[in-house]
């Protein structure tokens, strides 16, 4: 496309793309993994991998996880900061008890009375309601007041957590074998990722794994069945460690190379593989100044948009950017995140894109949704409809990992 064509296309597109999005539940695409901060990169970075659960792992993976007798991973619990996005000042809890809880500065007010310490509530089916949220959790709860906000941590059994994440991270029409693959992926990810937050192992946003509480009853039931039928199954790397298994909404036809995206060493067990999912094309027009600002940040020095070279891997993902003026380079994934943080994650949807400059704007055209590494949810759903089992799906997206069982201590 010549420059004039780009200018026309930009003019046609720009009207509808001036919005900066936020990560709102209403627009969340399951598995899109739109990180809200630079720290979100740690979703599969080496630093995010904790050894906490590795000591007790069997180094010998089960040959066929599906037929092995399920051994409940009883006692394994997952503490999750919930309502992370809402950060409510007040909420109403129904369940084993009925309580009104308010944060007043750093003081917790329970049923109108100040409380000197955190409120801890036993495991049960809790219904939490407040401004903009109405959620149900099967968990123990802990509530604290911090700067006028309620910090709510829900502690789930591992399998309840896996079921809730599987339901939250998938579409309602997802075939059962794809749900099973998602359950194993979610279980492996949370165990391998270690503690990612001061107050809890995980949050309930795409930064860790989306957990929206219990939504559609039927979908949750299928997700529970998927968790139960894969209970205790994880993916392991060859050395025996649980794989830090990333997933994303749609790779757009080819998954990305984990080391190119997240750096070495690879902890994911994934590899770049061709996929049969739809291309999921996207287009965004952004100010040229935004590209300059993103590039300047990741290159660590002033850069001009017209000096940038985008290096791609075999999947078409931008794996490196080069500033021809200074010779400086940066990871393509960092550039993608810097662009997304500025322009909105529903606009800059993946690292697989081309960039065309026109006047004071830039046209980005790409495929896929998410970082492209590991399990592709769109592809898994499509292949499962064609008869693939969860084990075949996982072997496809994580060829360097094998399914195995968790062992009780």
Give me the helix-helix angle, 176-193 and 158-168, nearest 10°. 120
Q: Does 41 bind Zn ion (CB under 5 A)?
A: no
In this complex, which beta carbon is closest to Zn ion, that of residue 43 or of residue 224?
43
Contact stretch for Zn ion (CB under 5 A) within 107-115, 267-275, 320-328, 343-351? 267-275
Q: Does 207 bind Zn ion (CB under 5 A)?
A: yes
Contact 135, 168 (CB under 8 A): no
> What is the DSSP secondary-structure string of 133-199?
EEEEEEEEEEEEEETTEEEEEEEEEHHHHHHHHHHHTS-TT--HHHHHHHHHHHHHHHHHH---SSS
In this complex, which beta carbon is closest to Zn ion, that of residue 210 or of residue 277?
277
Which position has the token pair 């795409």?
Answer: 206
| Nearest residue to 369 (alpha-carbon basis) of 341, 348, 394 | 348
Q: Does 277 bind Zn ion (CB under 5 A)?
A: yes
Minimum Å distance from CB 51 to Zn ion? 19
Residue selected from 177, 275, 346, 391 as contacting Zn ion according to rule CB under 5 A? 275
Contact 153, 136 (CB under 8 A): no
In this complex, which beta carbon is closest to Zn ion, that of residue 32 or of residue 251?
251
Minimum Å distance from CB 300 to Zn ion? 26
Residue selected from 101, 200, 208, 220 as contacting Zn ion according to rule CB under 5 A? 208
Minimum Å distance from CB 252 to Zn ion? 6
Number of residues that bind Zn ion (CB under 5 A): 8
State how far the Cα of 183 lies from the Cα of 162, in Å rounded to an integer. Answer: 6
Contact stretch for Zn ion (CB under 5 A) within 115-123, 124-132, 275-283, 319-327? 275-283
Minimum Å distance from CB 365 to Zn ion? 18
Residue selected from 178, 203, 223, 235 as contacting Zn ion according to rule CB under 5 A? 203
Minimum Å distance from CB 65 to Zn ion? 23
Q: List Cβ neighbours of 232 (8 Å cut-off, separation of 6 or more).
A: 70, 71, 72, 73, 405, 406
Minimum Å distance from CB 401 to Zn ion? 18
Encoded tokens for 10: 């930009």
State how far the Cα of 409 lies from the Cα of 407, in Å rounded to an integer. Answer: 6
State how far the Cα of 10 lies from the Cα of 33, in Å rounded to an integer. Answer: 27
Minimum Å distance from CB 55 to Zn ion? 23
Minimum Å distance from CB 374 to Zn ion? 10
Q: How far is CA 37 from the centre of its chain?
A: 12
User: Containing H/E element for 14?
Assistant: helix 3-14
Residue selected from 35, 246, 340, 379 as contacting Zn ion according to rule CB under 5 A? 379
Contact stretch for Zn ion (CB under 5 A) within 16-24, 145-153, 183-191, 200-208? 200-208
Answer left, alpha or beta for residue 105, where phi above 0 means left and psi between -120 and 50 means alpha. left
Minimum Å distance from CB 393 to Zn ion? 11
| Nearest residue to 344 (alpha-carbon basis) of 11, 9, 32 | 32
Q: Does 370 bind Zn ion (CB under 5 A)?
A: no
Q: Does 251 bind Zn ion (CB under 5 A)?
A: yes
Strand bridging mode 202-203 / 77-82: parallel
Binding mask 301-340 for Zn ion (x = CB under 5 A): ----------------------------------------
Minimum Å distance from CB 204 to Zn ion? 8
Give Dmax over CA atoms of the chain in angstroms. 68
Contact 166, 227 (CB under 8 A): yes
Encoded tokens for 153: 């941590």
In this complex, which beta carbon is closest to Zn ion, that of residue 194 or of residue 232?
194
Contact stretch for Zn ion (CB under 5 A) within 66-74, 218-226, 269-277, 381-389? 269-277
Q: Where do contacts with Zn ion occur on this chain (CB under 5 A)?
A: 203, 207-208, 251, 275, 277, 376, 379
């Amino acid at each position: 496309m010549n420059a004039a064509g780009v200018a026309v296309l930009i003019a046609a597109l720009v009207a509808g793309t001036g919005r900066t999005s936020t990560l709102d539940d209403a627009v969340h695409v399951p598995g899109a993994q739109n990180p809200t901060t630079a720290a979100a990169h740690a979703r599969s970075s080496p630093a995010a991998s904790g050894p906490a659960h590795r000591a007790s792992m069997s180094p010998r993976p089960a040959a066929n996880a599906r037929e092995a007798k399920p051994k409940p991973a009883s006692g394994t619990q997952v503490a999750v900061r919930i309502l992370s996005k809402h950060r409510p000042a007040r909420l109403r809890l129904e369940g084993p008890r009925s309580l009104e809880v308010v944060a007043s500065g750093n003081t917790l007010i329970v049923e109108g009375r100040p409380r000197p310490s955190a409120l801890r509530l036993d495991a049960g089916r809790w219904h939490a309601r407040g401004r903009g949220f109405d959620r149900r959790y099967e968990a123990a709860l802990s509530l604290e007041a911090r700067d006028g906000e309620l910090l709510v941590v829900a502690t789930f059994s591992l399998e309840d957590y896996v079921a809730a994440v599987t339901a939250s991270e998938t579409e309602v029409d997802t075939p059962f074998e794809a749900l099973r693959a998602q359950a194993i992926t979610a279980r492996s990810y949370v165990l391998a990722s270690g503690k990612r937050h001061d107050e809890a192992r995980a949050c309930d946003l795409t930064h860790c794994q989306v957990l929206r509480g219990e939504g559609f009853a039927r979908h949750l039931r299928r997700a529970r069945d998927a968790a139960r039928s894969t209970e205790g199954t994880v993916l392991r790397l060859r050395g025996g460690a649980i794989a830090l298994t990333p997933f994303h909404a749609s790779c757009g036809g080819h998954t990305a190379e984990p080391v190119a995206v997240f750096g070495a060493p690879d902890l994911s067990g994934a590899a770049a593989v061709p996929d049969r999912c739809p291309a999921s094309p996207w287009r965004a027009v952004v100010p040229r100044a935004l590209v300059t600002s993103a590039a300047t940040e990741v290159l660590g020095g002033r850069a001009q948009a017209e000096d940038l070279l985008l290096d791609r891997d075999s999947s078409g993902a931008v794996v490196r950017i080069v500033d021809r003026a200074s010779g400086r380079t940066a990871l393509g994934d960092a550039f993608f995140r810097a662009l997304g943080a500025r322009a909105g994650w529903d606009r800059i949807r993946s690292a697989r894109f081309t960039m065309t400059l026109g006047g004071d704007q830039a046209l980005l055209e790409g495929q896929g949704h998410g970082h492209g590494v590991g399990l592709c949810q769109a592809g898994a759903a499509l292949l499962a409809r064609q008869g693939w089992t969860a084990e075949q799906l996982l072997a496809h997206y994580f060829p360097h990992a094998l399914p195995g069982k968790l062992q009780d201590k």
